[in-house]
Amino acid sequence: DTEVTQTPKHLVMGMTNKKSLKCEQHMGHRAMYWYKQKAKKPPELMFVYSYEKLSINESVPSRFSPECPNSSLLNLHLHALQPEDSALYLCASSPTRQGANEQYFGPGTRLTVT
C-alpha cells in the first residue's frame, strides 16, 4: 500500500486563525516531507523529517510549525498566515532520507487564507 493521506482536503482560514494540516503514512517510511505548491508552479520543499526529527528547514517562516508525533504522522501547524500563503500543501514520504528512493505524495491540502 503506497498511500499517503492528508486532511483536510480543503481549508479556508483567516489571518488570525490557528489551524493544522495532518499527514499520515503506514508504509514504514522514515523520512517525511512538507512541500508548498503555488498555482501553476512546481512544488517547493519546506521541511524534511528523518526518524521523527526535524532535519531540514528550507528557511520557512515561523508561522509554519511542523511536528512529527510519531513515525506515521506529520502535522503542519499554521498561525497568523498571510494571503500569499494560499497554496496546495503536499506531504510526502520515502523509505529513508537517502538513496534512490522515490517520494510518495499525498493528495494535498488546498489552503486559502482570507
Partner 1 sequence: AQKITQTQPGMFVQEKEAVTLDCTYDTSDPSYGLFWYKQPSSGEMIFLIYQGSYDQQNATEGRYSLNFQKARKSANLVISASQLGDSAMYFCAMRGILSGGYNKLIFGAGTRLAVHP
Which residues are at the interface with partner 1 (CB under 8 A)? 31, 33, 41-43, 45, 48, 50, 55-56, 58, 88, 90, 92, 94, 97-108, 110
User: Please, which residue, 81 or 111, has the CB nearer to partner 1?
Assistant: 111
Q: Give whichever of 66 and 108 is closer to partner 1, judged by the CB atom.
A: 108
Query: Buried b / exposed e across 49-79, counting CB within 10 Å, b at 16+?
Result: bbebeeeeeeebeeebebebeebbebbbebe
Q: How far is C-alpha 53 from the chain's CA centre? A: 14
- Residue closer to partner 1 by CB (options 18, 41) is 41
